[in-house]
Structure 1
Amino acid sequence: MIPLYCGAAVTLLAGALAGWWLRRRFLLVTVEGRSMELGHRPGDRVLVDRRRTGSVHVGDIVVIDRDHASDRPGQPMIKRVAALPGDPVPPEVCAFQHWPLHSRVPPDQMVLLGDNPAASVDSRQRGFFPTARLLGVVVRHLHRTQQVRTNQDGARKLSSAAEE
């Protein structure tokens, strides 16, 4: 008969392996900023599949690693794919960048736009984004994080980011 502690060790090892696999496959990102409103608001969380970087489509919401020249280096950006290598550049991006209207996206680059243009820094301002900086594709929008707030009387209450 196998001792009880061997069964517990196997269960613990299986749990550790499952956790390791999940962390390598998925990334949990908290939305910061208002560039993806109304669908994704500050405080929302999204689940990102790191393995879908090779199967990105126009319309997908992706997470990209900001470059070192960014205002927030190391903080991932969440944007919607507007065009991929070889696709025509959307007219609004051509207008902002002063490119010819029939421009195409170069190899290894993509056009990313925020859903809320008034609050987004995206391809309209920064041009193309390298596909090599792609961290993954958003596969699930999770519930907003709960935050503790204080009201005018100093009493604490639980509220969601949607109340901001």
Structure 2
Amino acid sequence: MQRLTRLLANNKGFLTFMLCMFMFRSAVADWNVVPTGSMQPTIEVGDRIVVDKAAYDLRVPFTHVSLLHRADPQRGDIVVLDSSAAGERLVKRVIGVPGDQIALLQNHLYVNGKAAEYRFTQVAGIRDDREDPALYAMENTGQLSHAVRWSIAAQGHTRDFGPVTVPPDQYLLLGDNRDNSADSRYFGFFPRNEITGRATRVALSLDPGNHYLPRADRWGAALR
């Protein structure tokens, strides 16, 4: 017991620093490793993303208890959430906010009855394309524009969803990799209080398919 007391006393500064760092990461800002391709091409496998934990709420560290409500997620935000339905932490894009009517018809998005516009684009460097060739397009709803990925192998399959109306205090979230994402089409709407922050940029990126070598062009890249 005396040895433990002495150890704590001798390392008080370091322990205080570590506690403050963990509290900061829990309540203010954090970084997360993205292990799956559900948000490709926006977020690649192996990206380390910066998460603004105070974007929507100031919370009691290590809890979901909100001390101060700052804002609500908006369409197009890339959010991080601790999903009870999925049983894990997810990174997805907000597609529908409370009151929105959302539908997918052959993977084309409709928001409140208005069809999104699509412009095909080229995306290079997605390793999954070697085994699962894909089409890429810029999806524009008038309020936001971002790239989505469609698997060529899934073409011709029924990929319809909804229409559904987003209930109060719930959000409809989808992955940008539309044919390879477990999201609101599988888990339903996600509660507001499970959303813990907004992903803002890539801190650094290591390619797990290439000996974890860095992808220097992605370091510091803003997420849109």
TM-score, normalised relative to structure 1: 0.68
- Would the alpha carbon gap of residues 159 and 16 (structure 1) be closer, same or farther in structure 2, given more than 3 Å must change? closer
State the 1:89 CA deviation: 2.0
Aligned to 2:51: 48
Alpha-carbon RMSD across the aligned residues, in angstroms, is: 3.2
State the 1:108 CA deviation: 1.1
Task: Find the partner of 1:58 among 75, 83, 90.
Answer: 75
- Would the alpha carbon gap of residues 158 and 128 (structure 1) be closer, same or farther in structure 2, given more than 3 Å must change? closer
State the 1:111 CA deviation: 0.4
Mapped to 1, the partners of 2:31 and 2:215 lie a distance apart of 17
> What code does the residue aligned with 2:92 have?
K
State the 1:42 CA deviation: 1.3
Aligned to 2:176: 115
What is the SS of the residue equivalent to 2:196? strand
- Would the alpha carbon gap of residues 160 and 80 (structure 1) be closer, same or farther in structure 2, given more than 3 Å must change? same
Mapped to 2, the partners of 1:90 and 1:146 lie a distance apart of 34
What is the SS of the residue equivalent to 1:51? coil
Mapped to 2, the partners of 1:89 and 1:158 lie a distance apart of 38
Aligned to 1:38: 41
Mapped to 1, the partners of 2:209 and 2:92 lie a distance apart of 28
> What code does the residue aligned with 2:83 have?
R
Instruction: Name stretches of at least 5 consecutive residues in structure 1 with no aligned partner.
Output: 1-10, 150-156
Contact 1:82 1:90 in 2 (8 A): no
1:18-97 mapped onto 2 (5 Å cutoff):
19=21, 22-23=24-25, 24-53=27-56, 54-67=71-84, 69-70=85-86, 73=87, 75-92=88-105, 96=160
Per residue, is there more strand in 1 or in 2?
Answer: 2
State the 1:110 CA deviation: 0.4
State the 1:143 CA deviation: 1.6
Per residue, is there more helix in 1 or in 2?
Answer: 1
- Would the alpha carbon gap of residues 117 and 133 (structure 1) be closer, same or farther in structure 2, given more than 3 Å must change? same
Contact 2:83 2:190 in 1 (8 A): no
> What code does the residue aligned with 1:135 have?
T
What is the SS of the residue equivalent to 1:119? coil
Mapped to 2, the partners of 1:66 and 1:34 lie a distance apart of 18
Mapped to 2, the partners of 1:115 and 1:88 lie a distance apart of 19
Instruction: Name stretches of at least 5 consecutive residues in structure 2 with no aligned partner.
Output: 1-12, 57-70, 111-158, 217-224
Mapped to 2, the partners of 1:51 and 1:115 lie a distance apart of 24
Mapped to 2, the partners of 1:140 and 1:21 lie a distance apart of 21
